[in-house]
Structure 1
Amino acid sequence: MWWARVSERLQTLDVDRGEDRVVVELHRPEARNAINGRMIEELHQVCAEIESAPRPLLLTGHGTVFAGGADIAELRARGREEALAGINSRLFERLHRLRAPTVAAVDGFALGGGAELAYACDIRIATPTAVFAQPEPGLGIIAGAGACWRLRELVGVSVAKQVLLGGYQLDADAALRHGLVAEVVSSEGLRERAHALLDRMAGSSPQALRLTKAVVDADGPHPLADDLTQAVLFESADKHERMSRFLERNKR
């Protein structure tokens, strides 16, 4: 059961392993839990572990933020080859295709790649301060790790375009209204509610859950179009200038 767990602190993650679940906390408080290359590597390690021993996965963020996007300094340095490699998109697709259910517990901001990480999970629970947004076009790129098609599937074309093209943010109420999150709970009760959901899952047949997920996800899209589009934008001077301005503003 969950009380018999083993904790491990990685460089960017805190991982708790139980017999019937794995809990991962994104832990880069100095960068609002922004997703960098090291975090991608460590999340791949977690995915590999769950692939070999399927158990439900709970993803959450340290403190009062889920993930403040991808690491802009790393994104600015990426070019065509990194885009075609799908560094973020391949991880999120791997996460999405895990055989066991996945849950994102979102407190505070889930921006850019942080939002896309949450979209890749099967179920999302949020707090009243949760905010989902895709600021990528303002930085000269697309939301290239799944938002352009996952968000459309989750909330519909119209709302997805409002977020992706219009720069609108989905706060907790809007996310609940449009079905992006299952429920909104207090920040103090977020993990308790998430664990209650995993407790219900633990009471079901693991094989039935895995096969149900496989059937629901049978016709999922392929992320290749994201990578090709991002490859063009990663090489643009506009992208480099916009990200440089962003990083300079944050130094002030």
Structure 2
Amino acid sequence: MDHQSRHDEHRRAGALTLSIDGGIGTITVDRPEVRNALDSDVLAQLADALEELRWDDSVRTIIFTGAGDKAFVAGADIRELARRVPEDGLRAAMQRLYDAVESVEKPTIAAVNGYAFGGGLELALACDIRVASTAARFALPETGLGIIPAAGGTQRLARLIGAGRATEMILTGRRLDADQALQAGLVTGVVAPEALLDEARSVAEQIMARGPLAVQLATTIIRHGLDADAATGMLLERLAQSVLYSTGERAEGTSAFQEKRRPDYTTHHVVQPARPAPQGREDRGGDQT
């Protein structure tokens, strides 16, 4: 299928709702009866949905959210978690899925509309930007179950809000409300519940008004620069800027500024690697942490 010619759509995909509208792909975990908890099937469906939006050229940004007004994602399905064996911890499919969210070539936004506990908070942490409703609550309660937040929680939370605050949340299971999350830097904005998706879409639209390759490279450098020393991060900046100086995107942006008009980036696209061959279910998220 030619993704560039595909119309906007809205459809059910297992336990998810998937929509594409105006260049924004939205993945909604749609299990409000269990507070959008994640089991093996939902993880596999999330992996499939992410891959679909990743390779769809009509999609410029991706939003993750949860159905209903109670939960974003309340964490893993405890019934499945109770059956896990040591080998499941090493497979770490949830961790691999969230790594894929973090590394996807398109900006990602978590619209947190309620409980974001455990794997739900870890999903939000894997996104580039997080916005919350006033009803949002955040926690990593895993140590109370005799395990740890092993889908990136120990690493991404500490990088985002600092080791001290992250350690307290993980060791005590402390919950943050939306205002506390904003003060800690966990989210970038808090709005009324009924305005949350509009706010997330507004952020996405602001991103899409910028140069797509510039956005992609800036996002990549921010992500990888956090794991590098300052000199390496500066080198990445220089290399990216050199690439951008050679593009029509830079020419369009500077011309539009001088001509006092909005730039038209509709013919410019992010750089995608070669699409890999389809993988088996287990590799796509069939087992949890």
Normalising by structure 1, we get a TM-score of 0.83
Partner in structure 1 of residue 107 of structure 2: 101
**CA contact 2:111–2:130 (8 Å) conserved in 1:** yes
Q: Tell me the SS of whatever aligns to 1:104.
A: strand
* Structure 2, gaps ≥5 residues long: 228-288
Partner in structure 1 of residue 135 of structure 2: 129
Partner in structure 2 of residue 243 of structure 1: none
Counterpart code for 2:36: N
**CA contact 1:113–1:145 (8 Å) conserved in 2:** yes
Residue 187 in structure 1 maps to residue 190 in structure 2: no
- CA shift at 1:220, angstroms? 5.8
The CA deviation string for residues 169-202 of structure 1, in whole angstroms up to 9 with x for no partner, is 1111110001110110000110111111111111
Q: Tell me the SS of whatever aligns to 2:72.
A: coil
**CA contact 1:50–1:98 (8 Å) conserved in 2:** no
Higher radius of gyration, 1 or 2: 2
**CA contact 1:24–1:58 (8 Å) conserved in 2:** yes
Distance in 2, Cα, partners of 1:21 & 1:82: 34
Q: How does 1:56-75 map to 2 (within 5 A)?
A: 56-64=61-69, 65-75=71-81
- CA shift at 1:51, angstroms? 2.9
Partner in structure 1 of residue 53 of structure 2: 50
Q: Tell me the SS of whatever aligns to 2:73.
A: coil
The CA deviation string for residues 192-234 of structure 1, in whole angstroms up to 9 with x for no partner, is 111111111111111111111111112466xxxxxxxxxxxx9
Counterpart code for 1:21: I
Partner in structure 2 of residue 198 of structure 1: 204
- CA shift at 1:75, angstroms? 1.0
Q: Tell me the SS of whatever aligns to 2:64.
A: strand
Q: Tell me the SS of whatever aligns to 1:204.
A: coil
Distance in 2, Cα, partners of 1:220 & 1:178: 18
Distance in 1, Cα, partners of 2:48 & 2:219: 22
Distance in 1, Cα, partners of 2:14 & 2:52: 17
The CA deviation string for residues 132-180 of structure 1, in whole angstroms up to 9 with x for no partner, is 0011011111011011010001100111011001221111111000111
Counterpart code for 2:216: R
Distance in 1, Cα, partners of 2:161 & 2:119: 17
Distance in 1, Cα, partners of 2:209 & 2:55: 21
The CA deviation string for residues 63-117 of structure 1, in whole angstroms up to 9 with x for no partner, is 1110111101111111122111111111011111111100000111101111111
Correspondence for 1:210 among 216, 223, 240 = 216
Distance in 2, Cα, partners of 1:139 & 1:12: 26
**CA contact 2:142–2:173 (8 Å) conserved in 1:** no
Q: Tell me the SS of whatever aligns to 1:77.
A: coil
Counterpart code for 2:218: T
Q: Tell me the SS of whatever aligns to 1:189.
A: helix
Per the alignment, do residues 38 and 196 of structure 1 end up closer, same or farther by CA in structure 2, a change over 3 Å counting? same
Correspondence for 2:25 among 22, 33, 37 = 22
Q: How does 1:1-252 map to 2 (within 5 A)?
A: 5-18=8-21, 20-53=23-56, 55-64=60-69, 65-219=71-225
Distance in 2, Cα, partners of 1:104 & 1:197: 11
Q: Tell me the SS of whatever aligns to 2:19.
A: strand
Counterpart code for 2:31: R
